[in-house]
Amino acid sequence: MSLQSIALLTYEGQIGFATDDQLLVTYLKQTGFRVSAVPWENSVRKLREFDAVVFRSTWNYHKSPDEFKIWLNTLEMMGLNLWNPLPVIRWNMSKSYLLDLHQKDVPIPAFKYVRKDTEWELDSFLQKNKWQKVVIKPAISATAYNTFPVTRQEAQTANNRINLLLAESDLIVQEFMEEVITDGEYSFIFFGNRYSHAVKKIPKKGDFRVQADFGGNWHPCSPSVSLINQAKQILMLVEEDLLYARVDGVVRQGLFYLMELELIEPALFFGAHPEAARRFTQVLLSRYQNQVKTKKLLGGLDW
């Protein structure tokens, strides 16, 4: 059984393939694959048609996480060839994964994880910890959704907004890293746990958000071997076999601090390296062949 058809998962608000995936799609089609953009909503019947299903631009899952989780459960029962694997998707959906990595001594900007429905006061917390500025993030979020900075002077005013968010979800309160503005945020891209390429993302003047949606821009970069290895060491703590990963962070005095580990729907910046699409495809083929062999073995066992 060979890999012939590939579904790249997206969402109903996306028309066709995401811009970042266009080079990948072109390469896949030139290589002889049938590739389709499939919105995850109401996709169950259609996904049966494909040999492989790859999470790519499901960029609205954070707005309906319960529905998304139910859909993931359905995919699991269908036994589809999914990448990244479902255990990874479930784990990476919530920023609570930072708690797991923190316990494994991964350098992460100082943060507080605040559970849903907690009555919490930011001003007293900042005063106690002597932090001057933080970034507030919902635990399930994407593209800086409901993400905003708060200074110590603004903290008391921000309490109401924060507690409204806590009525809906857990929150991450993270100490603000000035390096995002002064140096930028690095994104290390890995295919099959092997380093492929990197970019540096820069926010527009007066902002801290590096996403293009808010005026940020990016450019290819050539990080040191030391930084690449630091990012890879973080990734190796994930036990599942990954097709792709993006490790985002900032550098302070030579040490890489993890901001986000993106394993569901990150832009992979295929335009930053001419070999990126080929590398992705080779890893996808390898993962597919291994999964088919495993299923044949399990199917042939006498339980």
Which residues on adjacent β-strands are paired with residue 10?
A: 39
Q: What is the pLDDT of residues 146-169, one digit of tens each?
A: 899 999 999 999 999 999 999 999
Q: Is the pLDDT of residue 80 over 80?
A: yes
CB atoms within 10 A of CB 10: 26
Least Cα distance to 181 among 126, 250, 113 occurs for 250
Q: What percent of the chain has pLDDT over 90?
A: 84
Helices (H), 79-224: 86-93, 97-103, 122-129, 155-166, 179-182
Could you check whether the bond before residue 42 is cis, i.e. omega within 30 degrees of 0? no
pLDDT of residue 208: 84
Label residue 301 by pLDDT band (50, 70, 90): very low
**Which three-class secondary structure state does DSSP give residue 250?**
strand
User: Please, are residues 235 and 192 in contact by the beta-carbon 8 Å criterion?
Assistant: no
User: Please, are residues 279 and 27 in contact by the beta-carbon 8 Å criterion?
Assistant: no
Helices (H), 104-224: 122-129, 155-166, 179-182
Label residue 299 by pLDDT band (50, 70, 90): low
pLDDT of residue 110: 95
Least Cα distance to 176 among 200, 202, 151 occurs for 151
**Which three-class secondary structure state does DSSP give residue 79?**
coil
Least Cα distance to 79 among 53, 58, 56, 55 occurs for 53
Which residues on adjacent β-strands are paired with residue 42?
A: none
Average pLDDT taken over every residue of the chain: 93
- pTM for the full predicted model: 0.94
Query: Cα angle at 102 between 99 and 104, to 5 degrees?
Result: 120
User: Please, are residues 265 and 142 in contact by the beta-carbon 8 Å criterion?
Assistant: yes
Residue whose token pair is 């190796």:
236
**Any residues with CB less than 8 A from the CB of 64 and at least 6 apart, and which?**
none
Q: How many CA atoms lie within 13 A of 162 on its CB side?
A: 26
Distance (Å, whole) CA 27 – CA 215:
29
Q: Is the dihedral of CA 196, 192, 84, 65 positive or negative?
A: negative
Q: What is the pLDDT of residues 237-272, one digit of tens each?
A: 999 999 999 999 999 999 999 999 999 999 999 999
pLDDT of residue 206: 85
Distance (Å, whole) CA 258 – CA 108:
5
Distance (Å, whole) CA 241 – CA 36:
24
Residue whose token pair is 């996904």:
47
Burial of 161 (0-12, 13-18, 19+ CB in 10 A): middle
Q: What is the pLDDT of residues 26-63, one digit of tens each?
A: 999 999 999 999 999 989 999 999 999 999 999 999 99
Residue of 106 and 123 predicted with greater confidence = 106
